[in-house]
Structure 1
Amino acid sequence: MEEEYVKLIFGLKLKQIRTERNLSLFGLSKLAKLSKSYLNEIEKGKKYPKTDKIIILSEKLDIPYDDLVSLKLDKNLAPIGEILQSKILKEIPLELFGIKESNLIDIIANAPDKVNAFITTIIEVAKHYNFNRESFYLSSLRSYQQSNYNYFDDLEQKVVKFCKAYQIDLKSPVSSKELEEVLVEEYGYTINNNDLKKHKELYDLRSVFVPKTKTLLLASDIDEAQRTFIYAKEIGYNYLDFEQRLYTFPWIKFENFDQVLNNFYASYFAGALLLPRAALVNEFSKLIKKDTFDKVAFIKIFSFFAASPETFYQRLTNLLPQDFNIQTLFFLRFTHDVGSKNYYLTKELHLPNQQSPHSNETNEHYCRRWVSLKVLEDIDKSKEDHAFDIQISQYPDDDVSYLVFSSATKDPFKKNQYRSISIGLLINKQLKKKMAFLEDPKIDTQIVGNTCERCSIMDCKERVVAPKILEKIKKNQVIEEVVSDLTNKFS
């Protein structure tokens, strides 16, 4: 166990023993003739006493020396020992949420038995459901995005500052050529367009960065939007001065949470550079003032900025809450194999918190009425480059409706695979005031659920499987009612 954790355990044990003896910190100080501040430092895990001091504490508290220095904990502190030995607190980016590790341990140490039991349960659930470090890091990142409504003004300002310093016009589309010049001239990059394609094992990668020689290896089949985004992200890493970073796109592994967080920051920087805030807000404002939805104008926005649909939809999650006060929304990315009937939700973000539709980890079948899946079916049949649709999705079980925009394209990272990107906006009085075209009769409206297994729409022609989970819940409700009637009858 790490030295700092040994200090923490000794401090927790000393505090527990002192409390059991009904001694205040001041009382122990008088008894052991050790300063109160020194004992306080020990109990907080900041100091580990020397042998002679431990002997004094052992004698005055009437506890064997070996028991005092042992790392073995009693049942009340055992969950803390499990947490420390699992090193899970090293994995959690506590500082991101303004929490100090020592404070958290102190809270746990002072918690009643039932709270410790709850913590133990969480650890067991994480083990059984393979909730690994990657899952935890990405969940932490999503929570961080949600708590900030996915808008980071310091990054927005740094993009503006960068463009001013390097004379990049934010009113015009940024080209890969001018970003490549910055990478080569300012940051000493060498761009290699040939060697990555020689390794078939690396087909799924769009880029690899070699820090020692500042060589950026690029896949030969990337389009202009992908190349521009990769360059913008590399500039983000350099301009934001991040040492902890990921070296492949998409990433294949990470060493710590800082790499995950900095990857997000660099991606945010790239999105803000390619889709400048002022210009995008201006174009989107024009779109939503129209009485009918203009599909051509919507697609033209991200086409003008030479951005991929994913970059565009992600960028909307930054700006809609901030500049349009549309704060309840979701972002989804699905993948779909050509010719198959399977759909996988590979990325999601919910602001301000989770809502339908959302991922399901028990292999249930997502609602086939979702426009996110419909556009994947459309592009699979048509084989076009881009399929787009808009839909109003009504969730009767939750009594909410969303306006959903969705685009499907070929997956740039996988052969024979498509992906759809969607953004859904909660329909409320505010959205109705903001978006004039909400009453457009041409916008399709669908009653939807989350998964077929839990869906209450009984006449659904798109249903893939029976609502077996919902049926089980209803069956149990009937049983409960009959038992309740019998109880009342014979009471």
Structure 2
Amino acid sequence: MEEDYIKLIFGLKLKQLRTAKGLSLFGLSKLTGLSKSYLNEIEKGKKYPKPDKIVILSEKLDVPYDHIVSLKLDNNLAPIGEILRSNILKEIPLEIFGIKESNLIDIVANAPAKVNAFISTIIEIAKHYSFGKESFYLASLRSFQEANNNYFDGVEQSVLKFATTYQIDLNRPILSKELEDILIEEYGYIIKESELGKYEALENLRSVFVPKTKTLLLADGIDERQRSFIYSKEIAYNFLEITDRLYTFPWIKFESFDHVLNNLYASYFAGALIIPKKELILQLETVFEKETFDEVLFLKMFEAFNASPESFYQRLTNILPKAFNIQNLFFLRFTHKADSEKYHLKKELHISHQHSPRAYETNEHYCRRWVSLKVLKDINKSKKTHEFDIQISNYVGDDTKYLVLSSATKDPFKDNQYRSISIGLLINKQLERKLKFLDDKAIKTQEVGVTCERCAIKDCKVRQAPAIILDKVAKNKKIEIIVEELNTKFG
């Protein structure tokens, strides 16, 4: 076992024995003749005492030597052992949240029995659902984005500095050729195409970077928008001086939280470069000030910024909370195979509010009334390159409404595969003040649920499964009422 683990366990046990005796650190120091600072270092897991010191501690605390050095923990400290053995504290990026590992251990060690039972439950759930390191990193990243309203001013300023340094005109669309020249001439890149196409297993990869020779391998068939985004990310890694990075796009695996976080910063830089904040705000203001929703004007923004729908919608999640104070929003990406009834939620972000849906419901049937799924059906039938729709989604029983904008495109790397990108804005007084077109009668209002299994909508013609979870809740409620009546009758 790791030396640190042994130190921590000993320190926890010593603290438990000391407090059980009603002793302060000062009192234990006086009793044993060991300095208070030395005992404090032991309890914090920073030092492990020599055998002669352990003998003194066991004698004065009246516990067997074998018990105090044993790695077996009492029931109330068992969750700590589980956490330490699982190595989860090494995987959680605690520093991002301003937490010290020693402080967290101390909190858990002093928690009531019920809290420790809760921690044990969380660990069991994580094991049961194979909640591994990658899942935790991604969940931590989403929390980090949400805590910052998905806006990072330092990266925004770096983009402006880059534009000045390399004389990039942010008032016009940035083309890939301009970015390619910077990569080659300034950063010494070698760019090769057609190499990845030789390997069938790499069909989902768009780029691979080989650091030793600064060679960027690009997939066959990537379009201008994808190429610009890839080049912008590579520029970001260099301009931001990020060396601890991922080398494939999309990523295959990551070894540390820094990989995940740095990937976010590079992607954010790319989005901010391709879709400059100042210009985007001006164009959004034009759309928002109209009394009716101008779909043509909205879609023109995609062309104006040489950006894919996903990059554009992602950029909206950066700008809307900061520039327009629209902070209750969600971002979703669904994938769908043609002629299939399955829809997979692959990416999500929720800012300032616990919006529906969330990815944990993937074993249930997402509501077929969502515009996110409708555009996927539409593009499957129309075979267009881009399907767009807008909808006001009224969540039955939840008393919430969202304005949802959604785009569907074909997956360029997979036959008969499509994806939809959606952004949902909570309709409240703030949104009503910002968006004058909210009363546009042409925007369809649709009653929706979260999943069929939880949906209260009666006689839904597109229902995929009965409302078994909702029915179970109703049944339990009925039983509860009858039991109350019986208590009243015979009490």
TM-score by length of 1: 0.97
Structure 2 match to 1:252: 252
The residue correspondences of 1:96-115 to structure 2 (distance < 5 A) are 96-115=96-115
Cα deviation per residue 1:425-447 (whole Å; 9 max; x = unaligned)?
01111111111111111111111
1:264 corresponds to 2:264: yes
* CA deviation after TM superposition for structure 1 residue 294, in Å: 0.8
Q: Please list the CA deviations of residues 350-393 of structure 1 after superposition, one character each: whole Å capped at 9, or x if unmatched.
A: 11132123334352111111100111111000000000011111
User: Take 2:362 and 2:446, find their aligned partners in 1: how far apart are those partners?
Assistant: 25
Give the structure 2 partner of residue 233 of structure 1. Answer: 233
CA distance in 1, matches of 2:162, 2:118: 48
Q: Give the Å deviation of 1:67.
A: 2.4
Equivalence map 1:77-226=2 (5 Å): 77-226=77-226
User: In structure 1, how many angstroms separate the alpha carbons of the residues matched to 2:290 and 2:325?
Assistant: 19
Decide which moves more: 219-228 or 169-178: 169-178
What SS does the corresponding residue of 1:182 show, helix, strand or coil? helix
Which secondary structure does the structure 1 equivalent of 2:135 belong to?
helix
- Amino acid corresponding to residue 380 of structure 1 in structure 2: N
Instruction: Determine helix, strand or coil for the equivalent of 1:394.
Output: strand
What's 1:468 paired with? Answer: 468
Residue type at the aligned position of 1:271: G
Deviation string 1:279-332 (CA, Å, 9 cap, x unpaired) is 111111111001111111111112111100000000000010000000000101
AA of the residue aligned to 2:262:
N
CA distance in 1, matches of 2:406, 2:362: 25
Q: Which residue of 2 aligns with 1:440?
A: 440
Structure 2 match to 1:374:
374
Distance in 1 (CA, whole Å) between partners of 2:51 and 2:182 is 60
CA distances 1:41-79 after superposition (whole Å, capped 9, x unpaired): 111112222333223323322333332222221222121
- Listed as ranges, the matches of 1:34-113 within 5 Å are 34-113=34-113
Q: Percent identity?
A: 69
Matches within 5 A, 1:318-467: 318-361=318-361, 363-467=363-467
Question: What is the TM-score when the length of structure 2 is the normalising length?
Answer: 0.97
Q: Is the 8 Å Cα contact of residues 159 and 272 (structure 2) preserved in structure 1? A: yes
Distance 2:12 2:477 in 1: 47
Take 2:378 and 2:301, find their aligned partners in 1: how far apart are those partners? 22
Give secondary structure in 2 for the equivalent of 1:120. Answer: helix
Whether contact under 8 Å (1:146, 1:353) holds in the other structure is no
Report what 1:310 is aligned to: 310
Deviations 1:181-207 (Å, cap 9, x if unpaired)?
121122221111121111111011101
Q: Specify every segment of 5 or more residues in structure 2 that has no aligned partner in the other structure, as ranges.
A: none
Secondary structure (helix, strand or coil) at the match of 1:332 reads strand
CA distance in 1, matches of 2:51, 2:174: 66
Per the alignment, residue 298 of structure 1 pairs with 298
- Whether the 8 Å CA contact 2:367–2:452 is kept in 1: the answer is yes
Q: How many angstroms apart in 1 are the aligned matches of 2:30 and 2:148?
A: 49
> Partner amino acid for 1:396?
V
Distance (Å, rounded) in 2 between the aligned partners of 1:358 and 1:109:
32
Query: What is the CA–CA distance in structure 2 between the aligned matches of 1:106 and 1:470, rounded to whole Å?
Result: 41
Aligned partners of 2:161 and 2:2: how far apart in 1? 43
Deviation string 1:123-169 (CA, Å, 9 cap, x unpaired) is 11111122222211111111111111111111111111111111111
Which residue identity lines up with residue 27 of structure 1 in the other structure? G
- Distance in structure 1 (CA, Å) of the matches to 2:487 and 2:55: 63
**Retained in 2: the 8 A contact 1:394–1:401?**
yes
Amino acid at match of 2:325: N
The answer to whether the 8 A contact 2:345-2:362 is kept is no
> Are the equivalent residues in 2 in contact too, given 1:378–1:387 (CA < 8 A)?
yes
Distance 1:446 1:11 in 2: 59
Alpha-carbon distance in structure 2 between the residues aligned to 1:134 and 1:361: 19
Asked whether the equivalents of residues 225 and 307 of structure 1 are also in contact (C-alpha less than 8 Å), the reply is: yes
Residues 18-62 of structure 1 show CA distances to partners (whole Å, capped at 9, x for unaligned) of 112221111111122222112111111122223332233233223
Shift of 1:339: 1.4
Q: RMSD across aligned C-alpha pairs, in angstroms? A: 1.3
The answer (yes or no) to whether the contact 2:344–2:362 under 8 Å persists in 1 is: no
* 222-231 vs 407-416, which moves further: 407-416
CA distance in 1, matches of 2:489, 2:68: 60
Secondary structure (helix, strand or coil) at the match of 1:76 reads helix
CA gap of 1:176–1:347, structure 2 versus 1, over 3 A, is: same
SS of the residue 1:325 aligns to:
coil
The amino acid of 1:78's aligned partner reads A
Structure 2 contact 368–462 (Cα < 8 Å) conserved: yes
Residue matched to 1:279? 279
With over 3 angstroms needed to count, the CA separation of the structure-2 counterparts of 1:229 and 1:53, relative to structure 1, is same
Task: Map Cα deviations across residues 466-489 of structure 1 (whole Å, 9 max, x no partner).
Answer: 222222222222222222222222
| CA displacement at 1:337 relative to structure 2 | 0.2
Deviation at 1:170, TM superposition (A): 1.2
Q: 1:451 deviation in Å?
A: 1.0
Q: Deviations over 1:218-248 (max 9, x none)?
A: 0011000001101111111122222221111
| Partner Cα distance (1:70, 1:485) in 2 | 55
In structure 2, distance between residues paired with 1:114 and 1:26: 30
